[in-house]
Amino acid sequence: MSGWIEDYALIGDMQTAALVGRDGSVDWLCLPHFDSPACFSALLGDEQNGNWWMRPANGEPRAARRRYRPETMILESEWDTPEGSVRVIDFMPPRGGAPHLVRIVEGIAGTVRMQTALRLRFDYGNVVPWIHRSGTELVAIAGPDAVWMSSPVPMDGHNFLHDATFTVSAGQRVPFVMTWHPSQVEESDHLDAEKALSRTERFWRRWVDQCTYEGEYRDAVVRSLITLKALTYRPSGGIVASPTTSLPEDIGGVRNWDYRYCWLRDATITLEALIRSGYTDEAQAWREWLVRAVAGEPQHMQIMYGVRGERRLAEWEADWLPGYEESRPVRIGNAAVGQYQLDVYGEVMDVLHLARRSGLQGGEHVWGLQRSLVNYLEWCWDEPDEGLWEVRGPRQHFVHSKVMAWVAADRAVRAIEDFGKEGPIERWRALRDTIHAEVCEYGYDARRNTFTQYYGSKELDAALLLMPEVGFLPYEDPRIVGTIEAIRDDLMIDGFVMRYRTDREDVADCLPGDEGAFLACSFWMANALLSIGREKEARDLFDRLLELRNDVGLLSEEWDAAEGRQVGNFPQAFSHVPLVTTALNLAHQNGQRRGG
């Protein structure tokens, strides 16, 4: 069985990523890209679905200590045994050609007997490759995939795996390099593990040097920014929500989704975090990815795209995988790609407005895109949709969706007022005013002094916390204060915020089972409390959220308070981005806020 979600650490090369457990096992890796089929899928089953472990032959299988080298994505795991101590250094060098996974075993004290076992299973654990030797290297081939393994340690094959036992003494270092190629390529790229380690360390430290945040939460902010960088598909600038699929929101349940894609809903908060932290190049690349991805007719704009801008992300089930802790089905692709979500028009308009305010350059075609989006929005804003949370129940008039439609109209008007763009300003002002009035009439419960999840609903939605953040109403408006207090009273469970309640009859998503507290929503609450003058409450909540990170500073999508563990896909960009922005706000950093 795979470990707890928080038992894993992330390594990556900005085109794909691997998860390494505390037991020294690489249990998840898709090659050559984030959304490629996995060659290690033990995370969603067991070792027979593919993994590569490295650990001492004697003693506790779990590492006694582990950490990232400061300000890098180089993982160091250490074991203590009766014979001595040993360290395994795991990393993926920033990619120049082929992707490499490097593991260096380093003796710390004494002489330690080590064991390693490699089980390659292509196509999400479904295909056992044919393996042969080419000189001193192992070569595994199946269909389009080939993996080459290079090491001074010879590995023997039996029972559909290759393993080895070897010793390492204090001061000695033993490298293993795994390289992927298309199967028609007959020879691998030969990588010097030690030189690659030095280059990788220099790359990450130089990148971190650009960070402008120097507040009390710098370590947490830097780790989150490194994680966000690692989730960036470097050739295109797209940022995946997570490198994993089907890690459950409800252990043993069906709330299992593929997050290896780029969501428009993440666009503005990600751009804001990058700009305010000093990473304008990454912000520019993300903005350019978005403009390329959404090009085309506005009625065909999707809520998410592939890392290169792909539109077809058909969902299917890998029924041979038992799922993480028997959480089925294991989904590949995401059917939500075909949903109608009104809020994405506001997200795109908002991110392009923020980019323009921040000085990121864009051609006139960008304003042409914005005009077409708002022109289309005039005809569709009053339709029900599936909403921010991608419910799989009936469409509703979600309040957050309508607010983001207002954002789209507002940002169009402000582009004309503030930047001299040309457009039908009076018509768009009227559209903005109409949407605002409707939301305040039908989305607000005057008796309880709170906005609601959708028109006519009695339920709340944590996305309502974003209403003042995008400028729909000011934080000091009594209706906003009332909404923040209502969400705190109704959706905060064991100190953290749910997206919405899943334990009542009026559940919008129409899915069985429950889910954990949504970490992004909890950060939104901390920011909201800070913005209405409750700094101590905000800081206390933020500090509690930081305590949920695992030992190397990573967060999944949700927190299961009953079980005291992380749940959902891991690590999650949508958790780490609001960590950064909330830390910046707590430090009273000057910067661009969404509604500014």
Read off the DSSP letter of residue 466.
Answer: G
Cα separation, 515 vs 46, whole angstroms = 24
Does the pLDDT of residue 505 top 70, yes or no? no
Cα separation, 156 vs 432, whole angstroms = 68
Q: How far are the Cα atoms of 52, 195, 209 from residue 136, in angstroms, in the given order?
A: 19, 20, 40
Does the pLDDT of residue 424 top 50, yes or no? yes
Per-residue pLDDT at 506: 60
Confidence grade of residue 1 (pLDDT, cut at 50, 70, 90): low
What pTM, to 2 d.p., does this model score? 0.95
The backbone torsions φ and ψ at residue 401, rounded to the nearest 5 degrees and listed phi first, read -60, -45
Cα separation, 232 vs 236, whole angstroms = 8
Does the pLDDT of residue 596 top 70, yes or no? no
Per-residue pLDDT at 5: 97
Does the pLDDT of residue 590 top 80, yes or no? no
Does the pLDDT of residue 303 top 70, yes or no? yes
Cα separation, 26 vs 39, whole angstroms = 10
**Beta carbons of 573 and 270 less than 8 angstroms apart:** yes
Query: Residue 187 contacts by C-beta under 8 Å, 6 or more apart in sequence?
Result: 134
Cα separation, 587 vs 467, whole angstroms = 22
Q: Is the peptide bond before 144 cis (omega within 30 degrees of 0)?
A: no
Per-residue pLDDT at 217: 96
Q: How many CB atoms lie within 10 A of CB 33?
A: 17
Per-residue pLDDT at 64: 96
Can you tell me the mean pLDDT for 331-359?
93
Beta strands in 407-468 (DSSP E): 444-445, 450-451
Of 475, 488, 482, nearest to 530 by C-alpha is: 475
491 or 513: which leads in pLDDT: 491
On average, the pLDDT of the chain sits at 94
Per-residue pLDDT at 589: 46
* Residues paired with 331 in a beta bridge: 317
Q: How many CB atoms lie within 10 A of CB 134?
A: 12
Cα separation, 462 vs 458, whole angstroms = 14
Does the pLDDT of residue 329 top 50, yes or no? yes
Confidence grade of residue 593 (pLDDT, cut at 50, 70, 90): low
Structure tokens at 527: 């920011």
Q: Is the peptide bond before 329 cis (omega within 30 degrees of 0)?
A: yes
Q: How far are the Cα atoms of 267, 301, 360, 457, 563 from residue 290, in angstroms, in the given order?
A: 8, 11, 13, 33, 38
Long-range pairs for 167-171: beta carbons < 8 A, 24 or more residues apart? 167/111, 167/112, 167/113, 167/114, 168/86, 168/105, 168/106, 168/107, 168/111, 168/112, 168/114, 169/84, 169/107, 169/110, 169/111, 169/112, 170/84, 170/107, 170/108, 170/109, 170/110, 170/111, 171/107
Question: Which segment of 82-96, 106-120, 360-374, 571-585 scores lowest on mean pLDDT?
Answer: 360-374
140 or 389: which leads in pLDDT: 140
Tell me the angle at which helices 343-357 and 267-277 cross, rounded to the nearest 10 degrees.
Answer: 20
Confidence grade of residue 378 (pLDDT, cut at 50, 70, 90): very high
Does the pLDDT of residue 592 top 60, yes or no? no
Does the pLDDT of residue 304 top 60, yes or no? yes
Q: How far are the Cα atoms of 314, 387, 501, 510 from residue 504, in angstroms, in the given order?
A: 31, 19, 7, 11
Confidence grade of residue 510 (pLDDT, cut at 50, 70, 90): low
Per-residue pLDDT at 134: 87
Amino acid code (one letter) for 563:
E
The predicted-structure confidence for 58-88, as pLDDT tens digits, reads as follows: 988 999 999 999 999 999 999 999 999 999 9
Question: Residue 313 CA to chain centroid, in angstroms?
Answer: 17
